[in-house]
C-alpha cells in the first residue's frame, strides 16, 4: 500500500478532499482545503492515514460513528465554508452548461432531523447486526444510534434488529408519521403465511403503526398519515417522502412562491402530493406520476378533504410518455420534481410549450443544469435558483429553479 504526503487543494462534488501528485488527481475523504496529510492506498481514492497540518475550518464531528459510517461525509467541516461549498455545487453545474445565474444563499433545512431511514440487517447464527455500510465498503457497521435522525426514530436500530431476529437478512425502512412508525421490510427470503401471527405480535411488541414485508401489509395498528397543508395523506408502504419535514416545508414555500397566482397548475412527478395538495388550496391542479399507490393516496386524500380546488391525479410514466405541448396549453404553470436522473424528455416538451412558468425541483445539480439548458434553449429565462440543504453533512443538495417566458 502506497503512502503519499499531499496538500489538499479543494473539496470535490462527492465531499472528498482533492490533491494532486505526479499529474494525477487524487481523492481523500475526511480532508479539507489547505491541509497537509499523509494518505495511503492505491488508485485515485486514498485513505487518510495522518493529518500533518489541520485546517482552521476543521470541526469536531458530533457522531461517534463518523469516519467509519458511510452516511455523513462532512461533519468535520465548519458550517460557513461547508455551506459555501454546497452552494458552489449548483453554481459549478450551471456554469458547466454555460448558464450564468447567481444561486441564492443555501437554506438549512435539516430541522428536527431525518424522518426516514433505511437500515441494513444481517443475521449470522444468533448475532444480528443492524446499521449502515462502512464508507467505501460492503462491510456492515453495527449502529446503536444516529444523531441526524428525528427523535421519533431513536429506536430504529433496535426495531431493525428485532425484525432481523425473525426474518434474517433484510433491509428495514422506517418512516416517522403522525400516527407512529411505518416499517417496510425487504427480506431476502419469502415469508410464509404461518409466520404472519408472529409478525403481528412483533408489530404490537414494538409499538409500530404498520408493518409491511416484501410489499405485503402484514398488520396495521394505525394507518400511517402525513400532513400536507390542511390535508392528511394515508401513505402507501414504501412511499417516497422528502428526507426532513423542514425540507419539505422549504421546498413547498419556494414552489408556491414560484407558481405565484397561477390558476391552473400541473404537478409532474408528483409523488404522494406534497406540492399538488398545497397548490390545490388556491389553484386547479392536475398531478401525474407513474407510482399507482401514490396517485391513489392523493385521490383518497382529496376525497376526504372538502374545500380545496379540483385536483385530478393520474397515473402516467412521464419518462416514456411526457406531457406534450397541446396537453399543457391550459396550464399557467408547471411544477416538475423528477428523480435524480432528471426529466430530459419532459423538459424537451416543456421547451416547445407556451406555459408561462416552470418551477423545477431537483435533487441532482447535474441533471437540473441539463434540463435547465433545455428550457433556456426553448425560450425560458432562469429567474432564480435556490439551494436547499435537507441532506446535511452529505454531498447531496436540493435545488429549486423558477423559469419564465
Q: Looking at the annotation, which residues are catalytic?
A: 363
β partners of residue 253: none
Residue with the three cell numbers 464508507: 135
Q: CA 211, CA 147: separation in Å to the nearest integer?
A: 24
CA 345/CA 332 separation, integer angstroms: 20
- Name the DSSP letter for residue 151: G
CA distance 175 to 225: 10
Q: What three-state secondary structure class fits 87?
A: helix
Q: What angle do CA 75, 78, 80 make, to 5 degrees?
A: 125
How far apart, in whole angstroms, are the C-alpha atoms of residue 220 and residue 182?
9
The angle that helices 365-377 and 79-96 make with each other, rounded to 10 degrees, is: 40
Give the SS3 label for residue 138.
Answer: coil
H/E stretch holding 77 reads none
Residues in the chain: 405
Amino acid at each position: 500500500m502506497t503512502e503519499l504526503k499531499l496538500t489538499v487543494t479543494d473539496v470535490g462534488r462527492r465531499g472528498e478532499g482533492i490533491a494532486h501528485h505526479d499529474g494525477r488527481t487524487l481523492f481523500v475523504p475526511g480532508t479539507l482545503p489547505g491541509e497537509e496529510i499523509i494518505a495511503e492506498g492505491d488508485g485515485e481514492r486514498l485513505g487518510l492515514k495522518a493529518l500533518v497540518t489541520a485546517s482552521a475550518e476543521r470541526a469536531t464531528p458530533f457522531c461517534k460513528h463518523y469516519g467509519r459510517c458511510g452516511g455523513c461525509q462532512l461533519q468535520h467541516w465548519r458550517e460557513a465554508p461547508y455551506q459555501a461549498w454546497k452552494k458552489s455545487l449548483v453554481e459549478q453545474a450551471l456554469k458547466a452548461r454555460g448558464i450564468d445565474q447567481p444561486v441564492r444563499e443555501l437554506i438549512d433545512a435539516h430541522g428536527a432531523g431525518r424522518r426516514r431511514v433505511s437500515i441494513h440487517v444481517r443475521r449470522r447464527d444468533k448475532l444480528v447486526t443492524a446499521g449502515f455500510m462502512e464508507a467505501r465498503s460492503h462491510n456492515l457497521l453495527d449502529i446503536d444510534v444516529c444523531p441526524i435522525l428525528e427523535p421519533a426514530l431513536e429506536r430504529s436500530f433496535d426495531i431493525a434488529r428485532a425484525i432481523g431476529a425473525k426474518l434474517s437478512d433484510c433491509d428495514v425502512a422506517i418512516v416517522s408519521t403522525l400516527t407512529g412508525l411505518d416499517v417496510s421490510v425487504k427480506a431476502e427470503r419469502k415469508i410464509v403465511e404461518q409466520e404472519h401471527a408472529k409478525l403481528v405480535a412483533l408489530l404490537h411488541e414494538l409499538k409500530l403503526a404498520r408493518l409491511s414485508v416484501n410489499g405485503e401489509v402484514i398488520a396495521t395498528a394505525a394507518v400511517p398519515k402525513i400532513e400536507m397543508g390542511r390535508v392528511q395523506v394515508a401513505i402507501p408502504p414504501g412511499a417516497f417522502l422528502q428526507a426532513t419535514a423542514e425540507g419539505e416545508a422549504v421546498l413547498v414555500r419556494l414552489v408556491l412562491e414560484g407558481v405565484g397566482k397561477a390558476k391552473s397548475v400541473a404537478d409532474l412527478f408528483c409523488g404522494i402530493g406534497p406540492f399538488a395538495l398545497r397548490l390545490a388550496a388556491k389553484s386547479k391542479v392536475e398531478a401525474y406520476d407513474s407510482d399507482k399507490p401514490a396517485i391513489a393516496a392523493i385521490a383518497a386524500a382529496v376525497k376526504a378533504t372538502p374545500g380545496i380546488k379540483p385536483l385530478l391525479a393520474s397515473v402516467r410514466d412521464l419518462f416514456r410518455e411526457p406531457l406534450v405541448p397541446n396537453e399543457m396549453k391550459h396550464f399557467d404553470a408547471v411544477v416538475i420534481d423528477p428523480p435524480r436522473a432528471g426529466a430530459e424528455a419532459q423538459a424537451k416538451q416543456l421547451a416547445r410549450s407556451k406555459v408561462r412558468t416552470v418551477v423545477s425541483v431537483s435533487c441532482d445539480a447535474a441533471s437540473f443544469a441539463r434540463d435547465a439548458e433545455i428550457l433556456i434553449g426553448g425560450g425560458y429565462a432562469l429567474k432564480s435558483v435556490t439551494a436547499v440543504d435537507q441532506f446535511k453533512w452529505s454531498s447531496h443538495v436540493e435545488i429549486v429553479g423558477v423559469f419564465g417566458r
